[in-house]
Amino acid sequence: IGTLIVLSALLRSLRLGAAGAFAVLVLATAPLMVRYSTYARPYALPLFWMMLFAYAVHRYLGDGRRGWLRVAIVTAVALPLTRVPEPTVFLATTVAVLVLLSYRRRLPWARTWPLIAASGGSLVFLCVPMYLILAAHTESFFDPSPAGVVDRFGAGVHEMVTAVPALLATSFPWWPITVLAILAAFAVPASRRLLFQWWMWWPLLAGPVAFLLAYHFVNPFPFDTLPYRARALYFFLPAFALAIAALSAVLGTAEAASPRLRIALAVLLGGVLVGQLPSTVDVVLLNAAPDFGAASHMLTTDLPADAIVLYDRPSPAGQSRQPFLGTPRYMGETPYVATVSDLGAEAASIPRDGPVYLLINGQCAYSGRCRPIREPWDERVPGWRLADRIERFTLYEPVQGQSGPTGVVSAMRAFGSALGPELAYVETFTAATLLKEQGHAAQGKTLINQMYSQATPDVARRIRDAAAATGLDPFT
């Protein structure tokens, strides 16, 4: 809400009238804006500080009031403290733009030097120390070496060309119209001139563009493991709104375009607004993430207190397997619930008795990159039957009295067989670990060898890499 208010004030000060109001409406109903504005620190708060800084600088450059300078200085200090890369790039680009405009005498040095000093000081005395601290405590979070960039260049370009449009389509079902509107903002001379004369356009665009390029060229992690996600597109929204405002302004100026062009642009801009509404409705009405509160309620009301519940989110080898987030936030410690990937290290905590249930989060239970779905996984599993299911979750109950640690091993073997090696390698390693703990190491080794023999060479390689990285294999 704060971001929309500040953007409204900025567009009003640019004297855009109805064009500015339309741009604010487009931003207010954008699916990315509605969804990720609920995430305060990593998204909504940094974006608000960026917009407030841009507005304060714009007002100070316009009328020279010291109050706006104070607001700009405070927000220049606040931006790096969000610990998000886009605001840092935004601040650095602002310094570069102000220096360039002052050098070309489009802005007076008397107005710009306090802003340049405050922003530059924030970068030097806040950003640099925080970066050094992060680099000292984190290994391999990025690789900017020329050799690494060259080695990843082809894969990075391919990822941007193939995956980013798919992400765009998740938020903008009519995404070709959205892309066409952005291109039109550059292609129409009047819109382009208007857009380029706004100094804040370049810093607002530079932040997300820099992160997009860095993620695909200096990120050492495989894209299947950590893909570029839709949430990173959130920081493109202010630049997108300014582009829509510039293009909308053409409609109100007869000299800026021919009648036919203005009609075409009106249809195009209407398509941008209407085309994003289906996704916006989905964001408002449907859960964006698994509802662990509902899952916890199902476990505490439908299961006996001595139940042993094994939770997993099956995912292809090497990808994240979300742990169970219901305890203690929603349900306390009864019944016993364990995440399958943790069972090997927590074998001693498994109750000695109690029926064994499995809770499957099926949003990634398919081959390839995980793009979470809402449908639950409900395949047949020998020895267990479907007890209940809600959005994304499926609960299985034992039909042959499987209980205690031996029942846990049986559950791991049964679900490992049903899901296959690519999705259930964790179940297989867990069963092998428990068998080893119970004095049946040979059976555990046989189980692992069978899994590798059933997997394709690529899947087997990824399973070995994942096992080495997380210490899953009890025999290595």
Distance between CA atoms of residues 318 and 266, nearest Å: 47
Report CA Rg, the chain: 27
Query: What does the pLDDT profile of the chain (476 residues) look like in tens digits?
Result: 999 999 999 999 999 999 999 999 999 999 999 988 878 778 899 999 999 999 999 999 999 999 999 999 999 999 999 888 899 999 999 999 999 999 999 999 999 999 999 999 999 999 899 888 877 777 666 777 788 888 888 888 988 888 888 888 888 888 899 999 999 999 999 999 999 999 999 999 999 999 999 888 888 777 776 778 888 889 999 999 999 999 999 987 767 778 888 899 999 999 999 999 999 998 888 777 788 888 899 999 889 989 999 999 888 887 778 888 887 777 777 889 988 888 878 878 888 889 999 999 887 776 666 666 667 777 888 899 998 888 889 999 999 888 888 999 999 999 888 888 888 889 999 999 988 888 889 998 999 999 999 988 988 998 898 888 888 888 88
* Whether the Cβ atoms of residue 203 and residue 54 lie closer than 8 Å to each other: yes
Distance between CA atoms of residues 476 and 178, nearest Å: 52
Distance between CA atoms of residues 198 and 297, nearest Å: 53
- The structure's pTM equals 0.79
State the DSSP H helix or E strand holding residue 9, giving kind and residue range, or none if neither. helix 2-13
Cis before 328 (ω within 30):
yes
Instruction: Characterize 361-387 residue by residue with b for buried, 16 or more Cβ atoms within 10 angstroms of its Cβ, and e for exposed.
Output: bbbbbbeeebeeeeebbeeebebbeeb
Q: Which residues contact 192 (CB under 8 A, 6 or more apart)?
A: 185, 186, 246
Q: What angle do CA 178, 180, 183 make, to 5 degrees?
A: 115
Instruction: Characterize 203-227 residue by residue with b for buried, 16 or more Cβ atoms within 10 angstroms of its Cβ, and e for exposed.
Output: bbbbbbbbbbebbbbbbeeebebeb
Q: Are strands 308-312 and 356-361 parallel, antiparallel or unpaired?
A: parallel
Comparing C-alpha atoms, which of 282, 283, 301 is closest to residue 293?
Answer: 301
* Predicted pLDDT of residue 254: 67
* Whether the Cβ atoms of residue 211 and residue 228 lie closer than 8 Å to each other: no
* Whether the Cβ atoms of residue 382 and residue 334 lie closer than 8 Å to each other: no
β-strand partners of 67: none
* Predicted pLDDT of residue 291: 85
* 358 SS3 class: strand
What are the angstrom distances between the C-alpha of 96 and each of 71, 116, 126, 378? 20, 9, 18, 56
